[in-house]
Amino acid sequence: MKLHRITALLYRHMCLYKRSFPRVLEIIYWPFVDLVIWGFITLYLQQFKAALPNFVLFFLGALILWDVLFRAQQGITISFLEEIWSRNLMNLFASPLTPGEFLAATMTLSVGKVLAVSCVTVLAALAFYSFNVFVLGLSLIPFVLNLIIAGWCVGVLTTGLIMRYGQEVEVLAWGLVFLFQPISCVFYPMSVLPEWLQAIARLNPAAHVFEGMRAVITTGSFPASELAWAVGLNAFYLALLVVWFHLMFAACKEKGLLVRVGE
């Protein structure tokens, strides 16, 4: 893996964002709108709260953390789509760039996107609702890292599918991640799910992060077991999906799809 090839891709995307106001807006706009709407809904529902303490913390914390996962996924998938839209895939993969370096670059980009989005949502939550996500304390760091990796997993999966099935499935870049939202238990505890769905949710690393977040809010203790599950599952899925991506890449070269995607 060569650093100069990874930084080449980072430079390419920095140039793109530097010159494209709509792309910058896309990073800021939706998280901001989401936060404002959910924030006011949360404030409204709080008037009827009975037994649920830390109502704002539950919902706004969850919303901000969900956006971490979503933007980490988008960072990978949208970067790949940018190459399709600009018909640049041939230039990239006829160079010494490897699929692994491509993924490494898009993962780095996704971290940049997460940081940008997080700044917006954290500041907006503070300004509009006096909500400070850092009340979650140091546990926020492993939560965020695990959500980034969970986002990478969904991003690699989505990108592999788009590479294999072409722009017809481009919509997955925005939609697939929401398939995982119900079993990520973002806004509700896992216990509200039916038993069979709980079994599936336990295999989702994001669900353990959100369970952990709620444990920190309600008990103040650090949920080490939830974190261990999240780390283990993330490591397993990421390794599996990176191997799968390489197999998809090889299959696309075999079928001649790499030169046709985007046509």
Partner 1 sequence: MAEPIVQVRNLTKRFGEFTAVDGVSFEIRRGEILGLLGPNGAGKTTTIQMLLGLITPTSGEIRMFGLPFDRHREEILGKVNFSSTYVSMPQALTVEENLWVVARLYGMDRIQARVDDVVKRMEMEEFRTKVTRKLSSGQMTRLSLAKAFLTDPQVLFLDEPTGSLDPDIADKTRSLIKEIRRISGLTVLYTSHNMREMEEMSDRIIFLQRGRIVAEGTADVIKARYGETDLEEVFLKLARDQSASVSRP
- Nearest C-alpha neighbor of 225 from the set 240, 215, 237, 238: 215
Measured CA distances, 14 to 19, 79, 82, 85, 120 (Å): 9, 11, 12, 17, 19
Footprint of partner 1 on 75-104 (CB under 8 A): 82, 86-88, 90-98
Q: Residue 83 CB, nearest distance to partner 1 (Å)?
A: 8
Residues 6+ apart with CB under 8 A from 200: 183
Alpha-carbon distance 239 to 21, whole Å? 35
Cβ proximity to partner 1: between 52 and 259 the closer is 259
Q: Residue 12 CB, nearest distance to partner 1 (Å)?
A: 5
Alpha-carbon distance 184 to 233, whole Å? 13
**H-helix or E-strand spanning residue 168:** none
Is residue 20 within the footprint of partner 1 (CB under 8 A)? yes
Question: What is the number of other CB atoms lying within 10 angstroms of the CB of residue 250?
Answer: 12
Q: Residue 108 CB, nearest distance to partner 1 (Å)?
A: 14
Cβ proximity to partner 1: between 43 and 251 the closer is 251
Is residue 11 within the footprint of partner 1 (CB under 8 A)? yes
Is residue 15 within the footprint of partner 1 (CB under 8 A)? yes
Single-letter amino acid code for the residue at 221: S
Stretch that binds partner 1, among 108-116, 172-180, 205-213, 246-254 (CB under 8 A): 246-254
Q: Residue 81 CB, nearest distance to partner 1 (Å)?
A: 13
DSSP labels, 205-220: HHHHHHHHHHHHHHH-
Q: Residue 202 CB, nearest distance to partner 1 (Å)?
A: 39
Alpha-carbon distance 196 to 31, whole Å? 32
Cβ proximity to partner 1: between 185 and 258 the closer is 258
Stretch that binds partner 1, among 16-24, 34-42, 156-164, 239-247 (CB under 8 A): 16-24
Q: Residue 27 CB, nearest distance to partner 1 (Å)?
A: 15
Residues 6+ apart with CB under 8 A from 71: 27, 31, 110, 113, 114, 117, 151
Cβ proximity to partner 1: between 4 and 168 the closer is 4
**H-helix or E-strand spanning residue 138:** none
Q: Residue 88 CB, nearest distance to partner 1 (Å)?
A: 5
Cβ proximity to partner 1: between 220 and 256 the closer is 256
Residue selected from 50, 168, 195, 254 as contacting partner 1 according to rule CB under 8 A: 254
Alpha-carbon distance 29 to 120, whole Å? 9
Cβ proximity to partner 1: between 90 and 135 the closer is 90
Is residue 259 within the footprint of partner 1 (CB under 8 A)? yes
Q: Which residues bind partner 1 (CB under 8 A)?
A: 2, 4-5, 7-9, 11-12, 15-16, 19-20, 82, 86-88, 90-98, 250, 253-256, 258-259
